[in-house]
Amino acid sequence: MVVNYHRSTQDAQLLQQELNDLRAGSAVLARADLLKPGSWSQLVKDVVTAFGRLDALINNASSFYPTPVGEIDEQAWDDLVGTNMKAPLFLSQAAAPELRKVQGCIINIIDIHAELPLRNHLVYSAAKGGLLALTRALARELGPQIRVNGVSPGTIVWPEGPTWQNDIERQRIVNQTVLKRSGEPADIAGAVEFLISAPYVTGQILAVDGGRSIAV
C-alpha cells in the first residue's frame, strides 16, 4: 500500500508504522500535492516503483469547510473542487494504464451530501456531487478492464470546528439516522474492501451512513 499525504507528515508516518506492524513492508509513503499538475503521474510512478504494479486506487483526499452564498471566492472554489473532483479525475486518468494491466479498480470516497446538500457548504456539496457523477462516468469510460465505484460516508468522524463539537448539534444529526448512532472508520474500510473484492460491481455508490440518506 502507498499512502499519499501532503502536509500531514506525522500522521502519515504513524499510519505507515501501524500498517507495517501488522504486516512488515506493506506500506510506504509518497508525498504529493494533488492540486499540482504532474503530481498525479508521479504518484503512480511511485506506486509502481515500490510494488511493481497498481491494483486499486482509493481517491480519499478532500478539503472541507463552509462557503456560504455571498462569501464564496475563487480560492475556495479552486481548492474544494480541486481536491474533491479535479484530483480524482486526473489521478484516475494517470492510473488507468497500470490498472488496465491487472483488471484493477478505482474507489472514490464521496459523501451523502453529494445528494443531500449541506447548508452553508455549497461548493463542497457541488464538488462531491460532481465526484458522484464522475464515478459513474468513469465506470462507463474505463470498463470492462477497470471497475469504478464510490463510497458515500455519513457521520463517521466529526469535522473540526465549533459547529461540529456542539453535543446538541451532534445528537440532532445522529437522530436523523435509522441506526441512531455514528459510524466508525472501520465501516468505511469494510465498504472499500468489499468493493475491491466484488468483480461484478461497477458504477455503484454505496452509502455507509446508518440509514441517514433514507430517513430525511
pLDDT in tens, 13-61: 999 999 999 999 999 999 999 999 999 999 999 999 999 999 999 999 9
For the chain, the structural domain boundaries read: 59-215
pLDDT band at 179 (very low <50, low <70, confident <90, very high): very high
- Residue 162 has what pLDDT? 76
DSSP 113: G
Question: Which amino acid belongs to residue 190?
Answer: G
| Residues forming the active site | 124
Q: Per mean pLDDT, which range of 58-62, 159-163, 202-206 is the poorest?
A: 159-163
pLDDT band at 216 (very low <50, low <70, confident <90, very high): low
CATH no. of 59-215: 3.40.50.720
Q: Where are the alpha helices (DSSP H) in 102-145?
A: 122-142
- The model's pLDDT over 126-153, given as tens digits with 9 standing for 90+, comes to 999 999 999 999 999 999 999 999 999 9
Task: Write down the pTM of the prediction.
Answer: 0.93
Best CA proximity match to 192, nearest among 105, 119, 86: 105
Question: Which set of grid coordinates corresponds to residue 208?
Answer: 455507509
| Virtual torsion, Cα 132, 137, 142, 148, nearest 10 deg | 20
Q: What is the mean pLDDT of residues 190-199?
A: 98
Rounded to an integer, what distance in angstroms lies between the CA atom of residue 92 and that of residue 44?
A: 10
